[in-house]
Amino acid sequence: MQKHTQNVSKEYSKAIEDGAKTIVANTGKGKFAGYERSDVDQVSEDMLQYSFGCGNPLAFSQVQPGQTVLDLGCGAGLDLLLAAQKVGKDGRVIGVDINEDMLELAAKNCQEHPQIELRQGVIENLPVESNSIDWVISNCVINLSEDKQSAFNEIARVLKPGGKMLVSDIVGENIPAWARYSGAVKAACAGGVISESQYLEGLEKAGLTGGNVLARQYYDANQIATIVSDAAPTFLSKLRCCGNNILHSLLTRIVRPVAQNIWSAKISASLAQP
Ligand SMILES: C[S@@+](CC[C@H](N)C(=O)[O-])C[C@H]1O[C@@H](n2cnc3c(N)ncnc32)[C@H](O)[C@@H]1O
């Protein structure tokens, strides 16, 4: 496994250890933007607390009963549970994540749903059979990869012909170098982003067709500052002597140049029928 991936995984273990607050990307429409109230009302507190998504990848999907859904970087399992409701008892939902602590949370949260299976692995080399998946979903994960093309290639490999990918992910342009080099900002899904056009090009190169941006959610500097501070408690604890409010306003100023250039996009693509 790449050192970078190990570092990202460590940041998520630290986030769990520190009891990080939910950082499902806040887009001004509430904490769980993109989800129905009924989606989040039914799940456990710790699943909400440790959800780190940036949208609801299933929102525009037409997942049918009996189908197989694969969630890349499933985290604590919110989207696994929602997918399980859609595929029903005869379907399958597979969650892959690199982080053992996340998988432990997901196992606890999904234990009453036998159609959900968890596998430890990386999205750049999926522990999943080729040509076996109807829907690949992912929520705020591919941006974290240093080898996004391998992740795109893997999506194309595991999808059945006619299968679809629907991901919520952070994309952006002209991200300042300081944001790119901070491991904590990267782990908060801001530092490793590529642009929408690079995303779509990567999907096409992998052999996926019809790449499209279905929706966008924008952040203001205040929201990004919250995402960064929630995602990186250990990094920020070094600055806490200044007081949290001062810290937050400082962070808000620092991230302002990033805010206009970064957003959450819901991106779809398909594997064509032969
Ligand atoms: C931003 S969180 C999103 C988690 C979940 N999708 C959600 O919506 O709450 C990113 C997740 O991806 C996992 N992850 C990061 N890089 C990964 C990689 N290369 N392969 C597999 N999982 C990865 C992390 O362990 C973490 O659980």
Q: How many CA within 13 A on the CB side of residue 199? A: 27
Question: Ligand 1: distance of its center to the CA of 142 in Å?
Answer: 8
Ligand 1 pocket, residue 99 CB under 6 Å: yes
Ligand 1 pocket, residue 143 CB under 6 Å: no
Task: Give 55's DSSP letter.
Answer: S
Tokens, residue 44: 């456990």
**Phi-psi region at 19: left, alpha or beta (left = phi > 0; alpha = psi -120 to 50):** left
Task: Give 54's DSSP letter.
Answer: S
Q: What gap in Å lies between CA 222 and CA 250, rounded to an integer?
A: 10
Question: Ligand 1: distance of its center to the CA of 28 in Å?
Answer: 23
Q: What gap in Å lies between CA 112 and CA 198, rounded to an integer?
A: 39
In the chain, the domains with their CATH numbers are 3-270 (3.40.50.150)
150: which strand partners?
Answer: none
pTM across the whole model: 0.89
Which of 7, 47, 51 minimizes the C-alpha distance to 25? 51
pLDDT tens for each residue of the chain, 274 residues long: 688 888 888 878 877 777 754 334 433 344 466 788 888 888 888 787 788 888 899 988 899 999 999 999 999 999 999 999 999 999 999 999 999 999 999 999 999 999 999 999 999 999 999 999 999 999 999 999 999 999 999 999 999 999 999 999 989 888 777 666 655 555 556 668 899 999 999 999 999 999 999 999 887 777 777 666 655 555 555 544 445 566 667 777 777 777 778 888 999 999 998 7
Residue with tokens 């140049």: 257
Cβ atoms of 259 and 220 within 8 Å: the answer is yes
Ligand 1 pocket, residue 40 CB under 6 Å: no
Ligand 1 pocket, residue 56 CB under 6 Å: no
